[in-house]
Amino acid sequence: MALLVIPALYLLAALAGSVIPVNRGWSESADGTTIYIADNGIHADLILPAKAQGLDWAPLFPRSDFAAPDPNAQWIAFGAGERHVYLDTPAWSDITLSTIWHALAGGDRVMHVEWVSDPRYSAREIRLRPEEYRRLWAAIRAEMVLDSNGRPIRIDHPGYGPSDAFYRARGKASAVATCNTWAAHRLRLAGVKTSIWPPFVEGLVWRYREVDPLSG
């Protein structure tokens, strides 16, 4: 019975955490800087402009860190996850019991960073005020482990493709601190209304506007 009770309690907590909001008084700005939330059904990425509001990601994530990114790409996607899950699972078919254990029990968090040519493949979009965008930018940057020169530390891994790379990040990832709760927490720090604890991606993205594929 205990084996059934624990997952049931987790699912109930996930449901509650996905409908209970933080930053209740927030409303989307009529204009500002648009960011995107990509959703592959399990995991959420936050996609930000490479350069906006006087803030530039390029010095922190130069294209030379990546195999062959699109030189015209003007967006960068950020996703946080457990080290073994990210680095040892290039495809879902590569998942092992060991990987699942690390994802549930917890392990070092790493950041997956990708130069993006067109973010409109994403599920949702949010328009942020300048101060909200700057807080989000700072909240993501604060998650990176930096070297003595103030640069994020790239992990020696080929990535999944020509445009992505992995970097060391702060903290641990687990069944409690999932990739989706990480994204929600960055939005909370920015002042955006979001779910208080959405371990599953559906509990995060439902609050925001669907992307218009013809916009932009």
Q: What is the pLDDT of residues 8-59, one digit of tens each?
A: 999 999 999 999 999 999 999 999 999 999 999 999 999 999 999 999 999 9
Task: Note the pLDDT tens digit of each residue in 111-164.
Answer: 999 999 999 999 999 999 999 999 999 999 999 999 999 999 999 999 999 999
pLDDT at 216: 54
Count how many residues are written for the chain: 216
Task: Note the pLDDT tens digit of each residue in 178-207.
Answer: 999 999 999 999 999 999 999 999 999 999
Terminal alpha carbon distance of the chain: 52
Distance, C-alpha 155 to centroid of its chain = 18
H or E element: which one contains 168? Answer: strand 164-173
Look at residue 83 and tell me whether its pLDDT is greater than 80: yes
pLDDT classification of 84: cutoffs 50, 70, 90:
confident
Give, to the nearest 10 degrees, the angle between helix 179-190 and helix 130-141: 140
For the chain, what percent of residues have pLDDT higher than 70? 95
- C-alpha to C-alpha distance for 10 and 199, rounded to whole angstroms: 9
Q: 33 and 133 in contact (C-beta within 8 Å)?
A: yes
pLDDT at 117: 97
Give the pairing of strands 33-39 and 194-195: unpaired
pLDDT at 195: 98
Q: 80 and 170 in contact (C-beta within 8 Å)?
A: no
- Give the residue-averaged pLDDT of 60-77: 97
Q: How many CB atoms lie within 10 A of CB 131?
A: 12
pLDDT at 147: 97
pLDDT at 30: 93
Look at residue 98 and tell me whether its pLDDT is greater than 90: no
pLDDT classification of 97: cutoffs 50, 70, 90:
confident
**Position 96: which residue type?**
T
What is the 8-class DSSP label of residue 121? G
Q: What is the pTM of this model?
A: 0.93
pLDDT at 194: 98
CA distances from 44 to 16, 88, 184 (A): 19, 19, 9
pLDDT at 171: 95
**Residues 6+ away with beta carbon under 8 Å from 53:** 33, 130, 133, 134, 137
